Amino acid sequence: MQTTFTLPRLIAIPLSILIVGVFAVLFSVVFAILLIPVAIIGFKFWRALKEAKKAQNAHVFEAEYIVLKDNDDEL
């Protein structure tokens, strides 16, 4: 005596599509949960790198000058 359980096609196809959809949503949620901390750490690293570059350029002075008279024509 062998009993087999088969779902009718009317139920099996929508049920399989629903299962695939639920797994896709769950995968997206898990991926987002893992991606958010990585993005925060990356942003903090980028900001620290930017601040370090700004501190390194603090010792550089910019100067502007204006030529009042050009004496090259007289020579």
49 within a domain of the structure (yes/no): yes
User: Tokens in use for 1?
Assistant: 């005596």
In 3D space, the residue among 52, 34, 54, 56 whose CA is nearest the CA of residue 44 turns out to be: 52
User: Tokens in use for 71?
Assistant: 């004496």
75 within a domain of the structure (yes/no): no
For the chain, give the number of residues.
75
- Report pLDDT digits (tens) over 8-67: 877 888 889 999 999 999 999 999 999 999 999 999 999 999 998 888 776 666 678 877
Domain count, the chain: 1
39 within a domain of the structure (yes/no): yes
3 within a domain of the structure (yes/no): no
68 within a domain of the structure (yes/no): no
69 within a domain of the structure (yes/no): no
pLDDT at 4: 66
State which residues form the domain around 27: 9-59
Kindly report whether the global pTM for this prediction surpasses the value 0.75: no
Write the CB contacts of 7 (distance below 8 Å, at least 6 apart in sequence): 15
41 within a domain of the structure (yes/no): yes
